[in-house]
Amino acid sequence: MNKVRALVLRAPGTNCDEEAAFAFEQAGAVVNLTHISQIISHTEELKNYQIMVIPGGFTYGDDMGAGKIMANEIRLKLGHDIEKFVSSGRLILGICNGFQVLAKTGILSGLSPTGKPLLTLTTNDSGRFECQWVYLKANKKSRCVFTQGIERLYLPVAHGEGKVVAEAEILPSLDVALYYTDKQNNTSAGYPHNPNGSINNIAGICDVTGRIFALMPHPERFIRGTQHPRWQSEGIKEPGDGFKIFTNAVKWAKDL
């Protein structure tokens, strides 16, 4: 059986690509780290992969807002390729800056008649960069491929623009895959448990198919027990909480 192939898409300012690639490799995929210019020029083809990953970082320095420039590149230069990729049943994962990119392309929730995304991410309510570990609850009713079999997660966040905001009309139809919680699993807990002030404590969402998933926390930063901040005092847990997100994706993609 051929191995699952995953494409980690990079742009200037991406800085979590190596970690995302390593996580997918550990999950059994063959991974290629590719600059977006190679996809635009078709020197590398999306059709050769079952999974596309947009990792964390600060693409193009977030100079026009987090993820906005890369989102425009994807929407205007790769829109047709992405449509074909999704319609063929393949998977897309966006982590942190990748969530920002997917939201601003409209891939996750669509665009309004004016071309404005119906869902986006903006500056944290705290007004500062948040770098901490958070508790997360998976939504059992979600169609999300990546979170199947997951109940709770403990993962790090690191972002300045992670607050999910959405038009009121789409909130009831959003497929929320992950919620921020406190240690008691309360999905309405405020700051610092919800580190950015996201509406309804949303930490991750997927599209209507369950195959496009975006989240602000970093699962690639906790795939081994020793990456836990208290692994010595609480004992090593193997694998780390984030690893199942990657194994779920690879398992699903084997049938493509």
Between the alpha carbon of residue 86 and those of residues 79, 227, 243, the distances in Å are: 11, 33, 23
Determine the Cα–Cα distance for residues 89 and 211; give it in Å rounded to an integer.
8
Determine the Cα–Cα distance for residues 214 and 131; give it in Å rounded to an integer.
18
Q: Could you tell me which residues come within 8 angstroms of residue 229 by beta carbon, excluding any fewer than 6 positions away?
A: 133
Q: Could you tell me which residues come within 8 angstroms of residue 61 by beta carbon, excluding any fewer than 6 positions away?
A: 12, 13
Pairing of strands 91-95, 175-181: unpaired
Please give the structure tokens belonging to residue 26: 């550990």
- Residues noted as catalytic: 96, 218, 220
- Whether omega before 195 lies within 30 degrees of 0, making that bond cis, reads no
Between the alpha carbon of residue 138 and those of residues 69, 175, 252, the distances in Å are: 30, 11, 18
Determine the Cα–Cα distance for residues 48 and 148; give it in Å rounded to an integer.
25
**Are residues 198 and 166 in contact, defined by beta-carbon separation less than 8 angstroms?**
no
Could you tell me which residues are beta bridge partners of residue 91? Answer: 51
